[in-house]
Amino acid sequence: MLYLIGLGLSHESDITVRGLETVKKCKTVFLEAYTSILMAADKASLEKFYGREVILADRELVESGSDTILADAKDDDVAFLVVGDPFGATTHSDLIIRARELEIQVETIHNASVMNAVGACGLQLYQFGQTVSLVFFTDTWKPDSFYDKIMENRRIGLHTLVLLDIKVKEQSIENLARGRLVYEPPRYMSIETAASQLLEIEEIRNEKAYTPDTPCVAISRLGSPSQTFKAASLQELSNYKSGEPLHSLIVLGRRVHALELDYLDAYASDPKKFREDVVKDQEYFKPAPYVPPEEPLSD
């Protein structure tokens, strides 16, 4: 049996009771180590808490060498640990498909992830549209596919959760070209970098999917003891000091419920200005006034 087990967001003890019991009975325990990190735990603390050896599974192992993970699962129990929830990344769906092809049974044990814990900022989960990812830009590579999705969400009034890039065990182009197995230090995108990149793409596209005054919510270290939220305009967040990772960002939709605004007041430096920004932003994608059809002329 292959068990996909969610670890939650922060501490080694965030794992569910069923998840912990399963880890303790598995012959082999892998920890997926590239889509996210536990903010208050590491490999050593997990091994101490589980009483088991934990094998780090990097992107190459999961995406190209899944046979290593699945090798023992035909005859024994294997645990594959994922920060957050196992279905927070498409890579894990692919692992399940490969297991099915090998006729290996799969069981999933869920846990909290950014996709539901984001509601802690006060925005209502059913008011969210498509989630997008934002990668680190380079001088020659600035992908903007996220822009159209934010536009679609905001046209129908929905908030957009923006997941920020994480680079773990990445190689430089030079080292790749030279065949050197040297990895760059881990990098985690900050709120200020994300806001600046969003503004850069808006300046290039100039389609008003959002503006410098568009209200947003910055989320830092969600689910940890140092969790923080900041409600401010996109321009203001480009100068925000977000601190230690992990971070994510929400671009508010055109429609913001009164209860959501009341909740966000606590996270705005100037609640009055933030509310004014919300009102002004609602003018974008505002539905045209209803015009009844003309009645046909009678004979």
Annotated binding site: 9, 85, 88, 113-114, 164, 222, 247
- Is there a single domain that holds both residue 142 and residue 260? yes
Task: Report the C-alpha gap between 261 and 259 in whole angstroms.
Answer: 5
> Cα–Cα distances in Å, from 69 out to 48, 200, 223, 259, 292?
22, 41, 29, 46, 63
- Is there a single domain that holds both residue 223 and residue 156? yes
Task: Report the C-alpha gap between 75 and 274 in whole angstroms.
Answer: 58
Per-residue model confidence as pLDDT tens digits over 273-295: 999 999 999 888 887 777 788 87
Domain end residue (candidates: 61, 93, 112)? 112
Residues 121, 216 contacting (CB under 8 angstroms): no
Per-residue b or e along 155-175, where b marks 16 or more CB atoms closer than 10 Å to that residue's CB: eebbbbbbbbebebebeeeee
CA angle in degrees (0–180, nearest 5) for 226-131-34? 60
Task: Report the C-alpha gap between 268 and 259 in whole angstroms.
Answer: 15
Annotated binding site for S-adenosyl-L-methionine: 9, 85, 88, 113-114, 164, 222, 247
- Confidence (pLDDT) at 249: 98
CATH number at residue 211: 3.30.950.10
Range of the domain at 205: 115-283
Residue 295 located in a structural domain: no
Half-sphere exposure of 164 (CA within 13 A, CB side): 26
Per-residue model confidence as pLDDT tens digits over 229-270: 999 999 999 999 999 999 999 999 988 999 999 999 999 999
**What is the percent of the chain with per-residue pLDDT over 90, rounded to a whole number?**
73
